[in-house]
Structure 1
Amino acid sequence: MTSSELWSRATAERYDAEESENSSAAAVEPALAFLAELAGDGRALEFAIGTGRVGVPLRARGVPVVGIELSEHMAAVLRRKADEETLPVVLGDMATTVVPGTFTLVYLVYNTIANLLTQDEQVQCFRNAARHLAPGGRFVVELGVPPLRVLPPGQVAVPFYVSDHHLGFDTFDLVEQTLVSHHFTRDGEDGRYRRGSCRQRYAWPAELDLMARIAGLELEERVADWHRSPFTGESTQHVSVWRGPSPARP
């Protein structure tokens, strides 16, 4: 077991409804096209596959997908959408769990590598990805850029979502390089808010590149989003692609 927080049954049951905006065809299609192109004719392995927001439609596009998921409750929700034969899922953590075979693509979406709360575990995640890659295969990570530039001296909180039904903000521990995402979500029509939080470890793109080198991977591409917009100093997130060693020539 890693330091990742384990998602409960209640959280898993709410997840798809709360992420409906990010699960729409318009939101998911660019990621599916990006990942399917990299997978080619091979198989894809999704670390922290969750309820299958990306894995299920990627499988529907014809890419064979296998998932690793820490929370049995999240996996149970996925299982309502695709059976084991269609989309196998192994319960375990993404830093150490090994599944049979090799893959042309291993991927992590929606900041999930940050669920690993130590640098050592994030390095192990890269090594685990490399372990599963076929020669020349790619490891893809979607991750936010820490918004520390907007923090004036003494401030530790940054809002990331403000609406009538959802308030979200992050609080940062700059020494431990961790953050806590706080969510206040309106439930029902009585006006009450439900509070939730989760811890994450943020990492800069350059730090991830070093993790990749430790795992024997090299940066191939870094873009600002699934549309391949250029990554700049103003980008708030990135999609990075690292490639494993190519097959040895005879």
Structure 2
Amino acid sequence: MPNQKTIMMKSIYKYLSCMLFLFLSCKETTKKTSVTTIENKTDTIINSKLAIKQDQTNITYIREFDENIEPFVKKIQNKLYGFDRNIKISHQIIETNKWIDGYSFVIVFFDLFDNDENSENVEGFILCSLDKKKYHLIKIDTFYPEGRKANIESVFFSNADQDDSKELVILCSWIQRHKNTAEGKLYQTFIYDDYKPQTKVNKLVFLQEISDHFSIEFEGIQEGEESIAKFKSSFSIKNELKNLGF
């Protein structure tokens, strides 16, 4: 029969075992809670950054009197992307009043390097103004890499649907270098419906059907054979649109 000392030692052992179990359980719960809190904070920060960028198309940008186009665009770049040194202007800034009567437009493209994907996208925007002071920002599109980043070859206006207004046409190219298989360029035409200032839309409408008519073309040497792209200039694209009856 166990003596009183043995019974007491067993009781103490059981008590310590219970306390150790409770301590470890609480520690694990606290750890999980901490991780969840950190993850939630991270999500909030990321979503906030995205929201800031998306909301930039809903505000008016003021151009100061006699302000040159480069510093004006730089201000907008900083508003869109912050002071990120990886962001740079991809194509010569275009300023024109030849699209819609009474309105001035600034067309700009930015190179965006994505460290996570190790790739470079190009984002295009239009700034529309009635008085060359207050500008509304409209997203054109994002042009993704095809092996390499997109190059903006040409930007012009041409009728591409049944109304009288001209559409925005962008010709992109991508350098292709594949050892022993292909070397040259890909070309693709992107056509967007005419902008209607009274609608205050934040993104141009991509015209899929007419854009697909021009398809993606390759020019260069592929598996020892030479290929020539048919639509690689504004001249050839405009002629084709005329041939289609536009």
TM normalised by structure 1 equals 0.25
TM normalised by structure 2 equals 0.25
The structure with the largest alpha-carbon Rg is 2
Q: Which of structures 1 and 2 has the larger relative contact order (alpha carbons within 8 angstroms, sep 6+)?
A: 1
| Greater fraction of residues in helix | 2
